[in-house]
Structure 1
């Protein structure tokens, strides 16, 4: 009996603890709520947010391209022959001054051709001189024959008088008449010769002009045996050397100018649009002063109500009587619209490579059209020779370098900037006052690679969630924390974090 007492005590203790546990479970089940679940629901999901502020955002876009000379030149052999002389500085990479004779092609055959042409010209001149001498001789002969004719006529008159007096025979009269006819024939022949000589002289002078033109052409072709640098350049390609034969039209040397470099930066289509200034609409044309109030409207293409306005800011409205529509402004590369773009857009050329981060200020030049393969648009920027060396790293910009071009626009005030990752298919997650998540539909004013400017849907002071929330349920509880790092990064992206000049 004494051995059963410890066992009975442990059994009673176990039954008591079991009953206590059952009682607690019944009480918790009857209460209908869990303390742990209630605590977790009150805290909500932790999220990172940024506070929306109205700022002046600087639109920017980055493109990539290759540096090239604005002017390039191909030295083409205009005549065939053997290269007999080449300048000592004609080497790839050397700088050649304007007017330097780079190559000289053997001119011997061309000089012989010129000599033949000159000889032909001398022959024609000799013929003209002979014709002039012949004309003088014919005129002298005509004067003599005229005197002979006069004497023959007088002799005929005396013979006829003697014949009527019976002192001369009929044969003598006929002989005198024959002498007169012979003299008249000589005079007529000489006059005909004098009339033919001017026409022959004109033919010879035309031949002389033709031969002289041949002499001039031979001199021009002879001058083409020398290939001269048209401007100061750096030689990029060399295809011949001394003693080598070249044919007409062969490219012997390629050079590039040193005054201006340019980069054709490839950008996404429409990527530069936020940087461009606004295009003012063209005012409608004034009505004709004598037009009646109930007259028919003008049916010209440029007077239709849905016709596109001319985006040229300095263009004038078409005259109401002009039947032709206004030409497209893109064809006028020197107009005021492009000047406004150059003032509004600040391009910076940047070279990043191992141990090098150099920048060069540039200027907008023109648009280069759309590439159908890469589906990008080209924007050409220029750099003067004085800007080719970077002051920060003393790096010289040269043709062939692959660089980035960063375009900075004028600051646009009133931008409600939000990181691009905070926008989910046009919807942002906003924290309302009672720490609940609210889904907001946004209208984007303009967008950049890293942020967007919201036109409507947000107000200054709103807290926008930038962390991943999955699933994002409208009205769910959240615990917001302002992300200082992301706030500073957004401020650097929106504002001008570096001097673009």
Structure 2
């Protein structure tokens, strides 16, 4: 047994030694790994060359449409409604001058007739007074001649009385005749002196009667209520044959010639739009026309009609007198003229009360300046592709941001390549492979020119 175990052990030892020998030979004969140098890989990025362009400042706001002018048909006289326009209903469109209501004019017609009679009566009294003055002056002339004759006769009889030719009683009778003539002349003169006062009184009565007649004529005219402008009826408060009291509101209407939108616009955006011209003088007159010309702001009103957007050119009208303390926005009023005349059924509606619209304001263009896509701005830095196609992190100063663009006041030169790809991570000096994004550049220039939609 011992002999067999020894024989097995003697066979294992040579096998192990052979294995170790083979391993040593393999290690010594192994070739070292071949070393290769790592090559730098360029990162492909989209770029745009920095254009220099004028930028049209724009601001966007939203608001509700209101008629530029509202009107209430108020009864200026009382009476029964005897006529109404056949189309006088809420929503109806009526032309300027259309008769909306007619109040029974009979009572006011009688007052007009009475006024005319009063005027005619006083005019007749004035005519009679004028003729009376003529008659009195003629009578005065006659009586003055008679008085002169009587005075001459009295002088003759006094001479005769002094010579004793006539009795004293005859002289006294002649003196009585002269005194009577003098009294008659004085009475006529007194009547003539009263004529101017009587004439003034009658003229005052005539003016009062004429005013009463004019008031009666005006009341007759007031019985007819007409539309002061082309309008759309918004409310009707009376029915035919119903009594209308003075100062009662019969109907309400709105002017269809012009519509207004008060858009709430962020003050920061509004500041870009409302700028004074470079060459300007101090405003000496704050009339709205001068202020509009000074600001030179245009506007566009838009309404979303399903899958279609309808636009109207508008005019900057005025600013609100207050700032919304919650939203920090200010109301801007713009006016659209003749939206009803521009309407196309099914395609282009008129501007109607309470339509929710967007309003774009446009100011005067800025001086040419570098502009870049807003997405290329990383806080106060942009990524530049330098002459070696390597990334440069550049600090810039932004004049303002608007929609999808940023206007740069300093830090960039026209023509430099700006990276618009979002690099993560952005390591300065990394190798880049720039690819021109012509479509983005075109969109950027369109937005600067105010031809792209504003966001």
Give TM-score, length-normalised by structure 2. 0.73
Corresponding position: 1:131 with 2:86: no
Q: Distance in 2 between matches of 1:429 and 1:448?
A: 20
Aligned residues: 418
State the shift of 1:358 in Å.
2.4
1:372 maps to which residue? 323
Structure 2 counterparts to residues 104-143 of structure 1, below 5 A: 104-139=102-137, 141-142=139-140
Aligned partner of 1:53 among 50, 53, 77: 50
Q: Distance in 1 between matches of 2:440 and 2:75?
A: 59
Corresponding position: 1:464 with 2:450: no
CA contact (8 A) 1:43 1:478 kept: no
2:219 maps to which residue? 221
2:302 maps to which residue? 350
Q: Distance in 2 between matches of 1:216 and 1:403?
A: 49
CA contact (8 A) 1:361 1:387 kept: no
1:278-301 deviation per Cα after TM superposition (whole angstroms, max 9, x unaligned): 71325xxxxxxxxxxxxxxxxxxx
Q: Secondary structure at the match of 1:93?
A: coil
Aligned partner of 1:388 among 342, 358, 363: 342
CA contact (8 A) 2:396 2:412 kept: yes
Q: Distance in 1 between matches of 2:188 and 2:416?
A: 116
Structure 2 counterparts to residues 25-40 of structure 1, below 5 A: none
Q: Distance in 1 between matches of 2:351 and 2:279?
A: 42
CA contact (8 A) 1:68 1:263 kept: yes
Q: Distance in 1 between matches of 2:139 and 2:51?
A: 111
State the shift of 1:372 in Å.
1.1
State the shift of 1:273 in Å.
5.7
2:100 maps to which residue? 102
State the shift of 1:88 in Å.
1.0
1:361-420 deviation per Cα after TM superposition (whole angstroms, max 9, x unaligned): 4143434346411522515253444873469x7232331222223456787785543333
Q: Distance in 2 between matches of 1:389 and 1:480?
A: 55
Structure 2 counterparts to residues 133-172 of structure 1, below 5 A: 133-139=131-137, 141-142=139-140, 145-146=143-144, 148-150=146-148, 152-153=150-151, 155-157=153-155, 159-172=157-170
Query: CA separation of 1:425/1:390 partners in 2, compared to 1, >3 Å: closer, same or farther?
Result: farther
State the shift of 1:493 in Å.
4.7
Corresponding position: 1:333 with 2:290: yes
Q: Secondary structure at the match of 1:218?
A: helix
Structure 2 counterparts to residues 54-93 of structure 1, below 5 A: 54=51, 56=53, 59=56, 60-93=58-91
Q: Distance in 1 between matches of 2:138 and 2:366?
A: 98
Query: CA separation of 1:213/1:439 partners in 2, compared to 1, >3 Å: closer, same or farther?
Result: same
CA contact (8 A) 2:374 2:406 kept: yes
Q: Distance in 2 between matches of 1:493 and 1:102?
A: 55
Q: Distance in 2 between matches of 1:410 and 1:134?
A: 79
Larger Rg: 2
Q: Distance in 1 between matches of 2:366 and 2:137?
A: 95
Corresponding position: 1:444 with 2:442: no
RMSD between aligned residues: 4.4
Q: Secondary structure at the match of 2:133?
A: helix
CA contact (8 A) 1:121 1:211 kept: yes
Give TM-score, length-normalised by structure 1. 0.67
1:397-450 deviation per Cα after TM superposition (whole angstroms, max 9, x unaligned): 331222223456787785543333443442335566788765432111332032
CA contact (8 A) 2:376 2:382 kept: yes
Moved more, 81-90 or 429-438: 429-438
Q: Distance in 1 between matches of 2:165 and 2:118?
A: 65
State the shift of 1:153 in Å.
3.6
Q: Distance in 2 between matches of 1:408 and 1:150?
A: 97
Unaligned runs of 5+ in 2: 21-36
Corresponding position: 1:418 with 2:372: yes
